[in-house]
Amino acid sequence: MKTQFEQMMDGLKDVEAFFAGKQEGFKAHVPQQVDVKAIRNRLGMTQAKFSGVFGFSLDAIKHWEGGRRTPEAPARTLLTVIDKNPAAVLTALNPVAFTAAVDSFKRTSVNVRIDRKHHASRGVTKRKGYSAEGRKRITK
């Protein structure tokens, strides 16, 4: 079995050969294993929603996650693309619904930093912050 570095070097050699005109096309490398549950959890979807959105059967998702079956190569390919770029798959499968979903979704980001110190004798957690003016330190 080749190391990851050796695989990358083989890929670079294939690219060089392609650009030099010595080789036509390329060979896709499909992963042998895909962690379906991790992909689904990263997307924050239930098994039912994941199967419905991406066109897998619910039973297949359950069997893959339970380890009773392994996805075939085409499914592993699609799962890999879903893992790396779910928006591309969603756009390809249903561009109208994806565009509507993205337009209706508004992100709000709030960054909060809380310094916590554990007071050993009483088990009290102290939070340190700053006043609205940002000058005075407050301990809660």
Q: What is the pLDDT at residue 41?
A: 95
Same domain, 68 and 80: yes
Tell me the residue range of the domain where 81 lies.
31-103
pLDDT at position 2 is: 77
Q: Which of 87, 103, 119 is the last residue of a domain?
A: 103
DSSP character string of 34-98: --HHHHHHHHT--HHHHHHHHT--HHHHHHHHHTS----HHHHHHHHHHHH-HHHHHHHH-HHHH
User: Does residue 114 fall inside a structural domain?
Assistant: no
Per-residue pLDDT of the chain (140 residues; tens, 9 = 90+): 678 888 888 888 888 888 888 877 667 778 899 999 999 999 999 999 999 989 999 999 999 999 999 999 999 999 999 999 998 898 888 877 666 656 655 554 445 555 555 444 455 555 555 555 555 555 55
**Number of separate domains in the chain:** 2
